[in-house]
């Protein structure tokens, strides 16, 4: 297997550079630490004995540096951190003027923009974006260049000099550079008729541009082809003379470094302990692993009066199935979708005349509130509302979009879970593909278990998932939490807090630990699945809390990027689709891995071509210091991520992120819209958000 890394050597091993004792205020020059150039510090021991670093500039040292000046010879092989910054500087300057544009991405990597051969709109110009990221000794024993395809961007074909733009948060292409609008320089503005805005959502709305998404059947091979073509055109040439690139091919991952998840980690249990790898097949053939223990479940509709017919149609589908067909020869009955009671093993019982209908969207919540107060709720009944939404969930610009959130909160306050169905879906030809997802989510909400993992014989661990969502509308990031008391993927508690409310999270972990110890005598480890790299500021309160409890258990923090990892990818050149088999684990840095988490279980399987998930593992021992991760712990932790991604009950389609990240993120997306941005008590123990 090959990874999208090219090995290279510097053109020269040493460079001469001027270093300064101070930087100019407001600038961001490079710097050199004492251990990166020990000869200079030794030579000027009298002046530099208390100095830890000196400043330098690759572009304009007079504007960025000042103070005492020193000249040093830097050995690039002995100072890899400095060398990587120097290589980025070389790459940026080399490509400026040779491609459509060059810029810096959000993590300070060089990004090269190449004009696409396909242009879907004559009002705009579409570009392909490639990142060039120098690395040191991640896969090989030397320097490496990561070449990744970052997707598409579009620029408007009219310059800013001809436009009246109110928005200020956007980028432009100016003199072959991609820069933020606020960072346009006087030099850029001297050619203001050649500065073009890069389209974002706000500008697309202002200019009346439709969003165009390039779709490919296999984005994995498409990515491989684009990266390969870029390398052939721009890197494997005599013109590229700033680095000694090995042009033979991408680096090969040694077989001994490739890991696998445990056998049968993808096996799911369904009714009567029957097994399958595919959730839909298992539910269809064997039924759920465990139907709801609740017998007295009552369904009722909430809808606008004009959607009464939609409710009637759904009632008929749930009771009688969709498109029943009887074979006249065999007498065999088949459906596009089985009756509700057959698919999830739960009667579809409703109270007569129990549905709630409102007149118009402007007064919907007031009307529903009044009718809910009038509705007689039996104490021994568990209620679930089927909300027929007149607003598509993606239509965030609708003035009535918040009805969904307000209704969710209103129902949770009354201990009622709910399922939203967009009113136009039942009339679409593909509604039968949505019905298994709807039924599975409903089963989970009423306390059933659609499918289960194979029984685990692992240690007694408390598993905590923390996900996050930042709403553009609200402008704040919220984090959600989920607590699992064993590795079967059944969660016991959810909550949501503002991003900076660490105390709340730590308090909830403490309560969960105490509960776990009571139930299981002891907890051997605390495993935290976190949506980003956990800082010491975030981890220290947790370690301190364990110390106060007298628990000396290790804390294993598994960072799981919530977006697919398309920056670093591995290609299997032995198969046409290039996609590694599901469960393949590739080490990319110390304690950092790619997990291929798709549904390709053998060569030739049809699957969604999902990019890998990046997983980072850290271990904190009882004193809060980092501990060493063993190879068995690595495979155990990644195996847990792999399994928990198969416990997603909002859909019968395979997901690539574990529910420890997905579920809390879903909670964190909705709760900020609630009146007090707090989760009602009932919502902390029910899967209402599916």
Residue 258's pLDDT is what? 92
Mean of the pLDDT values across residues 661-674?
Answer: 89
The pLDDT tens digits for 255-270 are 899 999 998 899 999 9
Most confident of 67-71, 332-336, 605-609: 67-71
Contact 560, 613 (CB under 8 A): yes
CB-count burial class (<10 Å; 0-12, 13-18, 19+) for 614: buried
Secondary structure of residue 610 in the 3-state scheme? coil
Instruction: Tell me how far apart the alpha carbons of residues 89 and 97 are, in angstroms, rounded to a whole number.
Output: 15
DSSP 436: H
**How far does Cα 197 stand from its chain's mean position?**
28
- Residue 318 CB coordination number (10 Å): 22
Q: What is the dihedral of CA 630, 631, 633, 636, to 10 degrees?
A: 180
The alpha carbon of residue 642 and the mean position of all alpha carbons in its chain are separated, in whole angstroms, by 15
Q: What is the pLDDT of residue 623?
A: 66
Where is pLDDT greater, at 125 or 327?
125
Pairwise CA distance, residues 443 & 148, whole Å: 42
Cβ neighbours around 208 below 10 Å, total: 7
Q: Are 96 and 81 in contact (CB under 8 A)?
A: no
Q: What is the DSSP string of 250-312?
A: SEEPPGGG-EEPPTTTT-EE-GGG-EESSHHHHHHHH--SB--S-S-EEEEEEEEGGGHHHHH
Band (pLDDT 50/70/90 cuts) for residue 645 is: very high
pLDDT higher at 550 or 47? 47
The neighbouring-strand residues paired with 527 are 463, 556
**What is residue 44's three-state secondary structure?**
coil
Instruction: Give the strand pairing for 101-104 and 177-180.
Output: parallel
Please classify residue 454 by burial: count the beta carbons closer than 10 Å to its beta carbon, then call 0-12 exposed, 13-18 middle and 19+ buried: middle
Asked if 647 contacts 289 with a C-beta cutoff of 8 angstroms, the reply is no
For residues 643 and 658, give the distance between their C-alpha atoms in angstroms, rounded to a whole number: 7
pLDDT tens across 189-246, in order? 999 999 999 999 889 989 998 876 666 777 888 999 999 999 999 999 999 999 999 8
More confident residue, 493 or 574: 574
pLDDT at 362 over 80: yes
| Chain position carrying tokens 């830097």 | 74
* Mean predicted lDDT score pLDDT of the chain: 89
- Reply yes or no on whether the pLDDT at 553 is more than 70: yes
CA distance 167 to 203: 7
pLDDT of residue 23: 94
Residue-wise over 252-289: b if at least 16 C-beta within 10 A, else e? ebeeeeebebeeebbebbbbeeeebbbbbebbbebbbb
3-class secondary-structure state, position 324: coil
pLDDT value at residue 544? 84
Report residue 175 CA to chain centroid gap: 34
Runs of H (alpha helix) within 331-430: 340-344, 364-374, 403-413
Provide the 3-class DSSP secondary structure of residue 382. Answer: strand
Residue 610 has what pLDDT?
A: 81
Fold of 457-684: Nucleotidyltransferase; domain 5 (3.30.420)
Measured CA to CA, the distance from residue 527 to residue 483 in angstroms comes to 10
Phi, psi of 297 (to 5 degrees): -100, 130
What was the pLDDT predicted at 602? 84
Pair 557, 532: CB distance under 8 Å: no
Domain boundaries in the chain? Answer: 8-76, 83-252, 291-445, 457-684
Q: What local confidence, expressed as pLDDT, does residue 346 receive?
A: 93
Find out whether 666 and 654 touch, Cβ atoms under 8 Å.
no
pLDDT-derived band at 566 (thresholds 50, 70, 90) equals confident
180's CB contacts (< 8 A; 6+ apart) are 169, 170, 171, 172
Residue with the larger pLDDT of the pair 358 and 537: 358
* Token pair listed for 110: 């060089």
Task: Give the contacts of 448 (CB within 8 A, at least 6 positions apart).
Answer: 288, 290, 291, 292, 344, 345, 346
Rounded mean pLDDT of 26-45?
A: 93
What is the arrangement of strands in the sheet containing 251-252, beginning at the earlier edge strand? 251-252, 2-3, 570-571
Q: What is the pLDDT of residues 400-456, one digit of tens each?
A: 888 999 999 999 999 999 999 998 888 888 888 899 999 999 999 999 999 998 876
Task: Examine the pLDDT at 98 and tell me if it is beyond 80.
Answer: yes
Assigned fold of 291-445: Rossmann fold (3.40.50)
Separation between Cα atoms, residue 446 and residue 375, nearest integer Å: 20
| Rounded Cα gap, residues 662 and 529, in angstroms | 11
Choice between 515 and 314, residue whose per-residue pLDDT is larger: 314
Judged by phi (left if over 0) then psi (alpha if -120 to 50, else beta), residue 353 lies in left
Are 291-445 and 457-684 equal in CATH topology? no
- What percent of the chain has pLDDT above 70? 97
Q: Which helix (H) or strand (E) holds 434?
A: helix 431-445
Per-residue model confidence as pLDDT tens digits over 449-490: 999 988 766 667 888 888 888 776 677 788 888 877 655 657
Q: Check residue 214 and give its pLDDT.
A: 66
In a 10 Å sphere around its CB, with 0-12 CB exposed, 13-18 middle and 19+ buried, how is residue 385 labelled? buried
- Could you tell me the pLDDT band of residue 506, with boundaries at 50, 70 and 90? confident
| Structure token pair of residue 288 | 């759920």
Report DSSP letters for 142-205, one per residue.
SEEEEEEEEEEEEEESS-GGG------S-EEEETTEEEEGGG--HHHHTTGGGEEEBP-HHHHH
SS3 91: helix
Dihedral angle sign, alpha carbons of residues 354, 359, 364, 367 = negative
pTM of the entire structure? 0.88
DSSP 545-579: HHHHHT----EEEEEE-SS---SS-EE-TTSTT-P
């Amino acid at each position: 297997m090959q990874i999208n890394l090219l090995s290279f050597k510097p053109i020269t091993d040493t460079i001469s550079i001027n270093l300064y004792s101070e930087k100019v205020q407001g600038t961001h020059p490079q710097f050199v630490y004492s251990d990166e150039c020990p000869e200079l510090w030794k030579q000027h021991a009298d002046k530099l004995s208390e100095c830890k670093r000196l400043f330098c500039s690759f572009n304009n040292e007079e504007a960025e540096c000042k103070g005492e000046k020193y000249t040093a010879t830097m050995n690039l092989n002995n100072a890899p951190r400095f060398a990587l910054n120097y290589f980025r500087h070389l790459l940026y300057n080399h490509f400026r003027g040779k491609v459509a544009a060059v810029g810096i991405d959000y993590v300070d990597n060089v990004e090269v923009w190449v004009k696409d051969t396909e242009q879907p709109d004559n009002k705009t110009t579409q570009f392909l974006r490639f990142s060039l990221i120098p690395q040191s000794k991640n896969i090989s024993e030397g320097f490496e260049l990561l070449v990744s395809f970052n997707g598409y961007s579009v620029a408007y074909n009219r310059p800013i000099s001809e436009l009246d733009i109110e928005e200020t948060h956007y980028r432009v292409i100016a003199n072959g550079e991609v820069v933020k609008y606020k960072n346009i320089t006087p030099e850029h503005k001297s050619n203001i008729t050649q500065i073009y805005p890069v389209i974002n959502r706000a500008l697309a709305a202002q200019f009346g541009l439709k969003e165009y998404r390039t779709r490919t059947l296999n984005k994995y091979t498409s990515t491989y082809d684009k990266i390969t073509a870029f390398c052939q055109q721009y890197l494997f040439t005599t013109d590229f003379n700033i680095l000694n690139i090995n042009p033979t091919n991408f680096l090969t991952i040694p077989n001994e470094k490739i890991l696998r998840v445990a056998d049968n980690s993808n096996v799911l249990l369904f009714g009567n302990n029957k097994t399958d790898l595919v959730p839909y097949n298992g539910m269809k053939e064997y039924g759920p692993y465990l139907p709801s223990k609740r017998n007295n479940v009552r369904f009722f509709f909430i809808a606008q009066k004009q959607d009464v017919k939609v409710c009637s149609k759904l009632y008929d589908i749930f009771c009688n199935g969709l498109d029943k067909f009887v074979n006249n020869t065999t007498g065999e009955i088949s459906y596009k979708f089985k009756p509700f009671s057959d698919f999830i093993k739960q009667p579809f019982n409703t109270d007569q005349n129990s549905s709630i209908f409102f007149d118009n969207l402007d007064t919907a919540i007031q009307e529903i509130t009044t009718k809910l107060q009038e509705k007689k709720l039996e104490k021994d009944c568990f209620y679930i509302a089927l909300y027929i939404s007149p607003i598509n969930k993606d239509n965030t610009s609708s003035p009535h979009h918040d009805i969904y959130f307000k209704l969710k909160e209103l129902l949770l306050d009354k201990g009622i879970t709910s399922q939203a169905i967009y009113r136009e879906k039942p009339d679409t030809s593909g509604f039968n593909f949505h019905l298994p997802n709807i039924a599975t989510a409903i089963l989970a909400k009423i306390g059933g278990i659609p499918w289960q993992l194979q029984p685990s014989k692992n240690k007694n661990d408390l598993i905590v998932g923390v996900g996050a969502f930042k709403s553009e509308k609200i402008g704040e990031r919220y984090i959600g939490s989920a607590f699992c008391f064993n590795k079967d993927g059944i969660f016991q508690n959810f909550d949501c807090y503002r991003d900076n409310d660490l105390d709340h999270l730590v308090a909830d972990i403490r309560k969960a630990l105490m509960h776990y110890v009571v139930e299981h005598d002891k907890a051997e480890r605390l495993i935290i699945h976190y949506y980003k790299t956990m800082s010491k500021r975030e981890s220290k309160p947790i370690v301190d809390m364990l110390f106060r409890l007298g628990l000396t258990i290790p804390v294993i923090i598994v960072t799981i990027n919530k977006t697919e990892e398309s920056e670093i990818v591995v290609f299997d050149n032995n198969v046409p689709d290039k996609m590694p088999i599901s469960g393949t684990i590739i080490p990319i840095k110390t304690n950092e891995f790619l997990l291929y988490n798709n549904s390709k279980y053998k060569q030739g399987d049809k699957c969604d071509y999902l990019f890998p998930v990046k997983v980072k593992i850290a271990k904190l021992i009882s004193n809060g210091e980092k501990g060493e991760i063993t190879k068995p712990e690595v495979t155990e932790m990644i195996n847990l991520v792999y399994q928990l991604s198969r416990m997603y009950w909002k859909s019968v389609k395979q997901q690539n992120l574990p529910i420890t990240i997905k579920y809390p993120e879903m909670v964190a997306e909705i709760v900020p819209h609630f009146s007090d941005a707090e989760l009602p008590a009932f919502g902390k123990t029910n899967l209402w958000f599916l």
